[in-house]
Structure 1
Amino acid sequence: MFTAKRLARLKWACRRGMLELDVLFLPFVEQAFDELSDGEKMTFERLLTCDDPDLFAWFMGHQKCHDPDLASMVQRVLSRVKV
C-alpha cells in the first residue's frame, strides 16, 4: 500500500539529474500512478532505482531493457506521456 509518505518519496525519486527523465516521470506519477495495480506500482518504484544512463537509454530507445517487467513499465510510461 502506498501511504502519503511513500508517495511523497516516490515523487521525490522522480526528480532526476536529467530533464528528459523528469518530464517523463513527474507527469506520469501525477496523472497515471493511481491507476496502476499494486504490483505495477512496485514495478514503477523499482524502475526509479535504476541508474539514469540506463533509464535514458531505455526511454530514448537506444537500448532494450532485459527485465520484462521494467520494459513493460517503460512502454507504459512512454505511451501515457506521448501526445
Structure 2
Amino acid sequence: MDAEFKRLRWRCRRGTRELDQLLGWWLETRYNAASPELRSGFAGLLEQQDPELWDWLLGKGQATEPNQAAVIDEIRTQHRV
C-alpha cells in the first residue's frame, strides 16, 4: 500500500461512524480503479467540513466541483450497508 493511500485512509477517519464508513468504502472499493480526476475529487472531498459532506451525501446539497460530485454520486448510488 503506498503512502498516498495510507494518508487518504487516515483522512477518511472523520469521527462520525457513518462518514467514516461511506468515505472508507469508496477508498477501499473504488479508489484503485478510479481515474486520476476522480481520485483528485475524492481528495478534495476530504478537505470539506463534515456537515457539508453529510448534506451532500444525503442529497441536501451538491458539490460544485464536478469530480467531487461524481464521487458523492457513486457513494450515494452504489454503497450498500
TM-score by length of structure 2 reads: 0.86
2:8 maps to 1:10: yes
Q: Is the 8 A contact 1:14 1:25 kept in 2?
A: yes
Query: How far off its partner does 1:78 sit?
Result: 1.9
Gaps spanning 5+ residues in structure 2: where? none
Query: How far off its partner does 1:39 sit?
Result: 1.4
Distance in 2 separating the partners of 1:64 and 1:41: 18
Gaps spanning 5+ residues in structure 1: where? none
Query: How far off its partner does 1:68 sit?
Result: 2.8
Distance in 2 separating the partners of 1:38 and 1:58: 22
The residue that corresponds to 2:17 in the other structure is 19
Query: How far off its partner does 1:23 sit?
Result: 1.3
The residue that corresponds to 1:62 in the other structure is 60
The residue that corresponds to 1:48 in the other structure is 46
Distance in 2 separating the partners of 1:49 and 1:69: 14
What root-mean-square deviation, in Å, do the aligned CA atoms of Structure 1 and Structure 2 show? 1.7
Instruction: Using the aligned pairs only, state the percent identity.
Output: 30
